[in-house]
Amino acid sequence: MPYFITSTILFVAALIIIFWIHNQYHLDIIVTPAKPPINPPLISICVPARNEENNIRRCAESALAQDYPNIEVIILDDRSTDATLSQLREIASRDSRLIPISGSDLPEGWAGKPHALFQASAAAHGEWLCFVDADTFLKPEAISSVYAKAIETKADLFTTMNQQILGSFWEKVVMPLVMTALSVGFSPRKVNDPKTRDAIANGQFIFIKRSVYDAIGGHESVKDQIVEDKAISEQVKWNGYHLVVADGMQVLSTRMYTSLATMWEGWTKNIYLGLRDHPSMLLLGAFGALLALIAALFLPIWPVLGLLLYIKTGDVLALGIILQALTVFGVLILMRARVARAMNISAWYAWTTPLGAGVFASMMLTSAWKVISGTGVTWKGRLYKPK
């Protein structure tokens, strides 16, 4: 009886947590394909690129392929040691709208990406600045569609959550769990509510009025921030401007990582920076890691424990424990299958949830240890440590 009562409590708690976690995605504003505007203002697409030879051609060519008729594309090569700059120069020789710039050395007190975007924006002439990561690719109607939605919502800064391109096995195992965790970590409805101080932006795509960008001091105002996208969003919203976060999956896609190694480095860095800059998040991070560990370790053995109890005691309540465990696991798999389909991968990857949860928990715990120990993280050849 005590085992069954404990199992029942876990059963109810698990179902509540599963349903709550999987109902936090509230991107009510959706960017849908729109036609190019009449008499369009100049839009400057600014891309920072550091050792992006695998992405930069596709990124640049997708930007140049926009049906929006009045753009310039400025790509700042941030001292790459690969073929990034040579590729840019070759593309620019065929299309004068592409302006490749060689970045200067990183000054004291600056983080890498803010400095790259600061230099790119200094060369831009548009009424709107569109900051795009080098691993982000625009459909031909993307800028027209985002511009239309930004005007419709009266946004001063408009940012999107993009469709994630998942190629390798490990991307398909881990990334859906990470994206679910992100949906729990912030509320789009609060971000879009001008009465709250909640602010976030996705650095993969930020669309901002030039006048507003200059008014807040641009990237110079957040020059030492590694999570510069969130810092910029805070500067915008906290100074009384209108911040909007939207679903851009119909017109934008991103390939963040291509392997377990690059994913581990990237997400360990991102989680580390979030925990470092917001120490109060350590407790929430520990809770997230605990949930991931439970999903990775306990859920698969829960029905086994019930079966062993039944074999040992013959108690019919042990069969109830098995049923509860299988029900929780089944509900979780159904929810993860829904997420998988939304991310354009096979629903069968839902069955890898325990494996992905184990990797995610490891990244969370590693990041927390790096914060506590002060060892810092390395990203694209640069070491970032606690201040």
- Chain segment 178-231, per-residue pLDDT in tens: 888 877 777 889 999 999 998 989 999 999 999 999 999 999 999 988 788 989
In this predicted structure, the answer to whether residue 13 has a pLDDT above a threshold of 90 is no
In this predicted structure, the answer to whether residue 376 has a pLDDT above a threshold of 70 is no
Average pLDDT for 16-30: 86
DSSP for 251-305 reads TEEE---SSHHHHHHHHHHHHHHHHHH-TTHHHHHHHHHHHHHIIIIIHHHHHHH
pLDDT at 310: 75
Distance CA 302, CA 312 (A): 16
Average pLDDT for 86-103: 94
Average pLDDT along the chain: 88
And the tokens for 304? 């086994």
pLDDT at 290: 66
DSSP letter at 36 equals: P
Average pLDDT for 126-150: 97
DSSP for 203-256 reads TTEEEEEHHHHHHTTGGGGGTT-SSHHHHHHHHHHHTTPPEEEEE-TTTEEE--
In this predicted structure, the answer to whether residue 289 has a pLDDT above a threshold of 70 is no
Q: pLDDT category, 314, cuts 50, 70, 90?
A: confident
In this predicted structure, the answer to whether residue 171 has a pLDDT above a threshold of 80 is yes
pLDDT at 11: 87
**227 CB contacts (<8 Å, ≥6 apart)?**
270, 273, 274, 277
pLDDT at 377: 65
Closest CA to 260 of 180, 171, 179, 378: 171
Average pLDDT for 300-325: 82
pLDDT at 279: 56
pLDDT at 378: 67
Length of the chain: 387
Distance CA 182, CA 202 (A): 11
pLDDT at 222: 93
Give the rounded percent of residues in the chain with a pLDDT score beyond 90.
54
Range from 22-31, 164-173, 266-275 carrying the lowest mean pLDDT: 266-275
Average pLDDT for 169-184: 88
In this predicted structure, the answer to whether residue 241 has a pLDDT above a threshold of 60 is yes
pLDDT at 311: 83
Inter-residue long-range contacts of 235-241, CB under 8 Å, 24+ positions, other chains counted = 236/156, 236/157, 236/199, 236/208, 236/212, 237/157, 237/194, 237/197, 237/199, 238/197, 238/199, 239/215, 241/156, 241/157, 241/212, 241/215, 241/216
Q: Residues 135, 55: contact at Cβ < 8 Å?
A: yes
**338 CB contacts (<8 Å, ≥6 apart)?**
22, 347
Give the rounded percent of residues in the chain with a pLDDT score beyond 70.
90
Distance CA 80, CA 86 (A): 10
In this predicted structure, the answer to whether residue 58 has a pLDDT above a threshold of 80 is yes
Range from 252-266, 329-343, 361-375 carrying the lowest mean pLDDT: 361-375
Q: Residues 205, 248: contact at Cβ < 8 Å?
A: yes
Average pLDDT for 232-257: 95
pLDDT at 384: 61
pLDDT at 152: 96
Average pLDDT for 98-109: 91
Average pLDDT for 169-176: 93
In this predicted structure, the answer to whether residue 282 has a pLDDT above a threshold of 60 is no
In this predicted structure, the answer to whether residue 288 has a pLDDT above a threshold of 70 is no
In this predicted structure, the answer to whether residue 45 has a pLDDT above a threshold of 70 is yes
In this predicted structure, the answer to whether residue 385 has a pLDDT above a threshold of 70 is no
pLDDT at 309: 77
pLDDT at 1: 66
Distance CA 112, CA 235 (A): 19
* CA Rg value for the chain: 23
